[in-house]
């Protein structure tokens, strides 16, 4: 569920502050490595999937925009 994903996200940040900081707070020069981009896309797809379950009447574009907003924090 979306709530479970949120709890896991926050739990990771609290349990591994150095890793969380490395992932989200450090500037990354140039392009991301392909493997990293694939993992981000997979995680983003999980968020979209959960949003689709909660708001099935919304369009794909609306779901994508909502997922982007959640992902951005």
pLDDT of residue 24: 67
Burial of 47 (0-12, 13-18, 19+ CB in 10 A): buried
Confidence class for position 65, pLDDT limits 50, 70, 90: very high
What pLDDT does 39 receive? 82
Sequence-ordered strand ranges (E) for 1-73: none
Task: Please give the backbone phi and psi of residue 36, each rounded to the nearest 5 degrees, phi first.
Answer: -65, -45
Where residue 69 falls among pLDDT bands split at 50, 70, 90? confident
Rounded Cα–Cα distance for residues 21 and 2 (Å): 23
Rounded distance between C-alpha atoms, residue 19 and residue 2, angstroms = 22
Please say if the pLDDT value at position 17 is more than 80. yes
Please tell me the least confidently modeled range out of 11-20, 32-41, 46-55: 32-41
């Amino acid at each position: 569920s979306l709530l479970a994903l949120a709890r896991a996200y926050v739990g990771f940040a609290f349990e591994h502050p150095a890793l969380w900081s490395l992932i989200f707070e450090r500037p990354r020069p140039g392009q991301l490595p392909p493997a990293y981009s694939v993992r981000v896309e997979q995680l983003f797809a999980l968020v979209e999937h959960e949003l689709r379950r909660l708001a099935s009447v919304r369009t794909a574009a609306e779901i994508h925009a909502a997922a982007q907003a959640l992902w951005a924090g």
